[in-house]
């Protein structure tokens, strides 16, 4: 297990800005599932004039290119929404959502699909160290918490920022995530089990729903696996250089240990939780 180098992570995701959406099939499905679960378990919302679920102040943590954001906005109409990511370069990818004014808060000419005041704000930086907006009605995060150094402390921080009855919905990854890479290279993030993550939910919050599964993608070569990881930015655990001989050895070991009739597998282990801050 390695401690995350967040500067390296930011640089790797920055390089993947143009390739992420096309390569992130599993992450796309995770985001779709998140919105579905959120709508089912978040039963307190009214309906906006356009038929979407009305919600007040929303913070998204680790928004990336907006893969989850756009799905969320098809279902929800927030009055105000902050989009956070550690990678500043993602702001440009969100240009169809963001509408900036001089104070970076409220749009003078809201674009279609925005909330009533069009206030969508990009909030760059490491969410673990940022001062979060307060009085939130919802905090959402899709496929980001696995990069954090202290998840329990951050969950307490988010809980403090939520109004009573506010919703925290997030997905992350469990111990079987990219297990093939971990086995072959001996390096992995510190992925927590569902039970461990449930134990991190702070006092004053209740778990409405929790789920996990395994999703396997297949590739025709080890090089294709590495290209996939690079395209989604998730290969940024450590600084390394792949020589031709190292790549050949990696491919040989991958085939010997994991080869199937469908190709070389790569396992994802997504986890979803929907939580609510208890009314005092």
10-residue mean pLDDT series, the chain (280 residues): 60 61 80 94 76 92 93 93 91 80 44 53 93 96 93 97 97 96 87 97 97 96 90 63 89 97 97 93
Total-model pTM:
0.86
Q: CA quadruple 128, 40, 31, 63: dihedral positive or negative?
A: negative
Residue found under tokens 């699909």: 113
Say what angle helices 67-75 and 25-41 make with each other, to 10 degrees: 30
SS3 57: strand
Question: What is the reported pLDDT for 45?
Answer: 66
Rounded to 5°, the CA angle 31-129-4 comes to 65
Q: For residues 189 and 268, give the distance between their C-alpha atoms in angstroms, rounded to a whole number.
A: 13
Q: Provide long-range contacts, Cβ within 8 A and 24+ apart, for 239-248.
A: 239/5, 239/8, 247/222, 247/223
Tell me the C-alpha to C-alpha distance, in Å, between residue 3 and each of 15, 31, 37. 21, 26, 31
Query: Which residues are CB-neighbours of 116 under 8 A, at least 6 positions away?
Result: 79, 110
Residue 143 gets the label, from left (phi > 0), alpha (psi -120 to 50) or beta, of left
Question: What is the reported pLDDT for 12?
Answer: 61
Question: What is the reported pLDDT for 13?
Answer: 59
Q: How far does Cα 229 stand from its chain's mean position?
A: 15
Task: Report whether 115 contacts 77 (CB < 8 A).
Answer: yes
Question: What is the reported pLDDT for 230?
Answer: 82
């Amino acid at each position: 297990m390695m401690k995350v180098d967040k500067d390296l992570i930011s640089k790797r995701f920055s390089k993947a800005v143009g390739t992420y959406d096309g390569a992130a099939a599993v992450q796309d499905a995770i985001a779709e599932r998140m919105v579905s679960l959120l709508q089912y378990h978040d039963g307190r919302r009214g309906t906006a004039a356009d038929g979407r679920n009305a919600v007040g102040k929303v913070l998204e943590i680790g928004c990336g290119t907006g893969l989850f954001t756009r799905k969320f906005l098809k279902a929800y109409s927030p009055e105000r929404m902050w989009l956070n990511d550690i990678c500043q370069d993602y702001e440009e990818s969100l240009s169809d959502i963001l509408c900036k004014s001089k104070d970076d808060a409220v749009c003078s000419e809201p674009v279609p699909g925005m909330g009533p005041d069009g206030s969508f704000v990009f909030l760059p930086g490491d969410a673990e160290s940022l001062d979060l907006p307060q009085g939130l009605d919802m905090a959402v995060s899709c496929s980001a918490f696995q990069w954090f150094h202290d998840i329990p402390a951050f969950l307490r921080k988010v809980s403090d920022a939520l109004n009573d009855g506010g919703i925290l919905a997030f997905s992350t990854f469990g111990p079987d995530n990219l297990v093939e890479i971990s086995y072959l290279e001996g390096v992995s993030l510190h992925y927590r089990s569902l039970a461990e993550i449930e134990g991190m939910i702070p006092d004053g919050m209740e778990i409405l729903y929790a789920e996990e599964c395994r999703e396997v993608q297949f590739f025709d070569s080890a090089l294709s696996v590495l290209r996939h990881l690079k395209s989604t930015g998730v290969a940024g655990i450590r600084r390394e250089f792949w020589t031709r001989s190292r790549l050949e050895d990696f491919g040989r070991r991958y085939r010997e240990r994991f080869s199937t009739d469908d190709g070389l597998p790569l396992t994802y282990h997504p986890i979803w939780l929907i939580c609510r801050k208890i009314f005092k």
